[in-house]
């Protein structure tokens, strides 16, 4: 029996156990949409913008424990270009995703036909791989390869560009049952035994060890073995923004997030460690700031990552280990225990004493107010009433950093945000995808009045599919993070950061068929959150009117080291002491 290319595509997606496809129809994909309608193999989620389709598919994939891969479907031309932001966002965070784009018929490719763009060329810099299918006989195998490439090795986005005449052609359908051997693509999954032994020796000799873990631990489902390793060895640990939740944030050994808005104790511990065991982290600029300042004290670095190109990209690595982080950590822990390795008690005790001294300064303390809402209060109250267990998505900005600092994530895939690309507008479509992946969980989208307006049209999608997510809008009337930089580094010149024409978000939410609540007093925070949670079957949009002047601290500015943080006002004495110490050290060196 012969099927059309569109039918083959739909049957292939079903063979990959696809449950949801997020998309928006157009001329180049009408055959595919007709096949979806007739075959009814999975559910299609109609978004209101292609960017949101990819973001929602991205979050569906992130929230699915690696078992399911998000799929987005867009038409040619503007459909494909609208999807690029979502594609780059997902690929930057190593999220497995398959994006199918329609294309003009093969005879018209290159002729500047209506709604033609070079999707392969445009997407090449921001995907793991892409395919242009020019013959129907290649379609099923290409889809199999796409899913295989997306989920294996370092996960990423694969784009499949399908011309309209390929979807119209007819052929016999046969879907490969086993993985296809791709000669040029053979990811390494197990670490080199010699390198693992060397890593164990270097780590055991450390006087000030620390474990830095990132999003690779979450994506690699290595949270349990990471926790076992940290607790067995007694090392302190810190997380990147994307690693939060891979180790329980309430555990004493966890020192918090590190980087531009990392905790005081976390940043100083990472800076002053003599051996850093980095697991699934990239040492990017938002984590260590300036590489030379991070490594200038001769610290040794052990770096575990499944992507060899990520190792030693920004810092010199003493012990590189390429492999699946779950497998490598398991082997390293087994070797550690087999050889009865341990740190020097005196050295580790002294190290922990320094850390506890830094922690005692409580860098995340803030002074609450009775007359106006601090954004930190909202996050802390949410954490309290949800038992630190809600699934949280966020947009990008101050609210994102406040959430990372003040919500104690306890498990992997509990925290979905755009870390690598920093894409405003992801929060709402992320919440949509997460709720579809895990309908039994309470899903909160924490956003700001700037970010939410970038994809606010998806409130319509939420209404159509009855997605009862809870939106927390921390509304300070500014593009808050930009305003903070302008205050600190541009002499308070607030160029284009003031949002002086905001909508009434309560009425806007109600216009889309949802519940809107405005909260203006700190005493009403808990009641509003509990009211929203009680409305199990409704989307609730909570507009919290917050302190317009609140900044995110600590903060590491451009060109500064992790030990050169801008500290909150209550730590002014510490700031002065640190500056004096740096000056004395500089004089001694000269």
The DSSP symbol for 337 reads H
pLDDT confidence of residue 85? 98
Give Cα 298 distance to the centre of its chain. Answer: 31
Do residues 57 and 414 lie in contact, with contact meaning Cβ atoms separated by under 8 Å? no
pLDDT of residue 582: 54
State the pairing for strand pair 319-322/300-305: parallel
Would you place residue 578 in the very low, low, confident or very high pLDDT band (cuts 50, 70, 90)? Answer: low
How far is residue 56's CA from residue 73's CA, in Å, rounded to a whole number?
Answer: 12
Predicted confidence (pLDDT) per residue in 482-515, tens digit: 999 999 999 999 999 988 899 999 999 999 999 9
Options 3.50.50.60, 3.40.50.1220, 3.40.50.2300, 3.40.190.10; CATH for 193-361 is 3.40.50.1220
Going by C-beta distance under 8 Å and a sequence separation of 6 or more, which residues neighbour residue 487? Answer: 494, 551
Range 78-104 average pLDDT: 98
Confidence of residue 337 (pLDDT cuts 50, 70, 90): very high
pLDDT in tens, 228-255: 999 999 999 999 999 999 999 999 999 9
Average pLDDT across the chain, whole number? 95
Over 90: is that where the pLDDT of 315 sits? yes
Q: pLDDT band at 350, cuts 50/70/90?
A: very high
Average pLDDT over residues 554-572: 93
- Read off the pLDDT of each residue in 317-327 and give the average, rounded to a whole number: 98
Report pLDDT digits (tens) over 152-195: 999 999 999 999 999 999 999 999 999 999 999 999 999 999 99
CA 454 to chain CA centroid, Å, is: 18
Task: Name the CATH superfamily, with its identifier, for domain 375-545.
Answer: Thiamin diphosphate (ThDP)-binding fold, Pyr/PP domains (3.40.50.970)
Reading the block at residue 154, the tokens are 């370092």
Confidence of residue 197 (pLDDT cuts 50, 70, 90): very high
Beta strands at 415-416 and 391-394: parallel, antiparallel or unpaired = parallel
Considering the entire predicted model, what is its pTM? 0.95
Coil, strand or helix at 189: coil
Instruction: Report pLDDT digits (tens) over 279-293.
Output: 999 999 999 999 999
- Element containing residue 170 per DSSP (H, E): strand 170-172
Indicate the CATH number of 2-172 among 3.40.50.970, 3.90.79.10, 3.90.550.10, 3.30.70.260: 3.40.50.970
How do residues 265-274 score in pLDDT, each as one tens digit?
999 999 999 9
Q: How many angstroms separate the CA atoms of 275 and 300, rounded?
A: 5
First vs last Cα of the chain: how many Å apart?
82
pLDDT score of 264: 97
Residue 584 pLDDT: 61
Encode pLDDT of 426-478 as tens digits.
999 999 999 999 999 999 999 999 999 999 999 999 999 999 999 999 999 99
Distances (CA, A) of 386 to 381, 389, 441, 533: 9, 6, 11, 9
Predicted local distance difference test score (pLDDT) of residue 383: 98
The predicted structure's pLDDT at residue 250: 97
pLDDT at 590: 52
Q: Say yes or no: do domains 2-172 and 375-545 share a fold.
A: yes
Mean pLDDT of 123-133: 98
Query: Would you place residue 543 in the very low, low, confident or very high pLDDT band (cuts 50, 70, 90)?
Result: very high
Q: Where are the domains of the chain?
A: 2-172, 193-361, 375-545, 562-588
**What mean pLDDT do residues 541-554 have?**
96
Q: Which of 73, 101, 328 is nearest to 193 (CA)?
A: 328
Where does the pLDDT of residue 65 fall: very low under 50, low under 70, confident under 90, or very high at 90 and above? Answer: confident
Q: Each residue of 20-35: b (16+ CB within 10 Å) or e?
A: bbbbbbbebbbbbbbb
Please state the rounded mean pLDDT for residues 118-130: 98
98, pLDDT greater than 90: yes
Quote the pLDDT of residue 581. Answer: 56
Residue 83: its H or E element: helix 78-92
Task: Output the six-digit token pair for 24.
Answer: 């928006």
Active-site residue numbers? 50, 114-115, 164, 481
Across 568-575, average pLDDT: 81
Question: What's the pLDDT score for residue 586?
Answer: 54
User: Rounded CA gap, 475 and 375, in Å?
Assistant: 9
Q: Is the pLDDT score of 579 beyond 60?
A: no
Q: What confidence tens digit (pLDDT) does each residue in 372-421 have? A: 999 999 999 999 999 999 999 999 999 999 999 999 999 999 999 999 99
């Amino acid at each position: 029996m012969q099927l059309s290319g569109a039918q083959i595509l739909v049957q292939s997606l079903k063979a990959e156990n696809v449950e949801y496809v997020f998309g928006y129809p157009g001329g180049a994909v009408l055959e595919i949409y007709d096949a979806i309608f007739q075959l009814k193999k999975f559910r299609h989620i109609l978004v209101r913008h292609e960017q949101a389709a990819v973001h929602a598919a991205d979050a569906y994939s992130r929230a699915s424990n690696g078992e399911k891969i998000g799929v987005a479907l867009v038409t040619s031309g503007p459909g494909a270009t609208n999807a690029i932001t979502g594609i780059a966002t997902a690929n930057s965070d190593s999220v497995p995703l398959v994006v199918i784009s329609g294309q003009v018929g093969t005879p018209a490719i290159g002729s500047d036909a209506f709604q033609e763009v070079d999707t392969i060329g445009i997407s090449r810099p921001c995907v793991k791989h892409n395919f242009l299918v020019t013959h129907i006989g290649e379609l099923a195998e290409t889809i199999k390869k796409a899913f295989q490439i997306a989920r294996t090795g370092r996960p990423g986005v694969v784009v499949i560009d399908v011309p309209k005449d390929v979807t119209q052609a007819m052929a016999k359908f046969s879907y490969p049952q086993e993985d296809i051997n791709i000669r040029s693509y053979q990811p390494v999954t197990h670490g080199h035994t010699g390198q693992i032994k060397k890593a164990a020796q270097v780590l055991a000799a450390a006087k000030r060890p620390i474990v830095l873990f990132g999003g690779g631990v979450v994506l690699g489902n290595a949270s349990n073995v990471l926790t076992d390793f940290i607790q067995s060895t007694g090392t302190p640990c810190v997380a990147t923004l994307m690693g939060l939740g891979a180790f329980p944030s309430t555990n004493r050994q966890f020192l918090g997030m590190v980087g531009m808005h990392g905790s005081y104790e976390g940043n100083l511990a990472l800076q002053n460690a003599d051996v850093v065991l980095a697991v699934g982290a990239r040492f990017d600029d938002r984590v260590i700031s300036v590489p030379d300042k991070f490594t200038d004290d001769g610290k040794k670095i052990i770096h575990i990552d499944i992507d060899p190109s990520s190792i030693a990209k920004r810092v010199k690595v003493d012990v590189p280990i390429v492999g699946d982080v779950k497998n490598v950590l398991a082997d390293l822990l087994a070797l550690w225990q087999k050889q009865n390795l341990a740190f020097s008690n005196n050295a580790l005790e002294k190290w922990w004493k320094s850390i506890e001294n830094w922690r005692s300064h409580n860098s995340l303390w803030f002074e609450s107010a009775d007359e106006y809402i601090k954004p930190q209060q909202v996050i802390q109250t949410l954490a309290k009433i949800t038992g630190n267990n809600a699934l949280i998505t966020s947009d990008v900005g101050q609210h994102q950093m406040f959430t990372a600092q003040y919500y104690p994530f306890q498990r992997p895939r509990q925290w979905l945000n755009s870390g690598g690309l920093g894409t405003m507008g992801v929060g709402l479509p992320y919440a949509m995808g997460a709720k579809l992946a895990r309908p039994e969980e309470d899903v909160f989208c924490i956003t700001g009045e700037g970010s939410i307006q970038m994809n606010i049209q998806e409130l319509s999608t939420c209404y159509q599919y009855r997605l009862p997510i809870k939106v927390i809008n921390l509304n300070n009337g500014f593009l808050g993070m930009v305003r903070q930089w302008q205050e600190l580094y541009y002499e308070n010149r607030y160029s284009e950061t003031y949002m002086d024409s905001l909508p009434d978000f309560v009425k806007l939410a109600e216009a889309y068929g949802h519940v809107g609540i405005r909260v203006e007093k700190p005493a009403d925070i808990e009641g509003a959150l509990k009211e929203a949670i009680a409305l199990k079957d409704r989307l609730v949009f909570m507009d919290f009117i917050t302190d317009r002047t609140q900044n995110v601290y600590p903060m590491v500015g451009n060109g500064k080291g992790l030990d050169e943080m801008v500290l909150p006002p209550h730590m002014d004495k510490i700031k002065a002491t640190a500056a004096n110490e740096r000056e004395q050290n500089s004089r001694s060196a000269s």
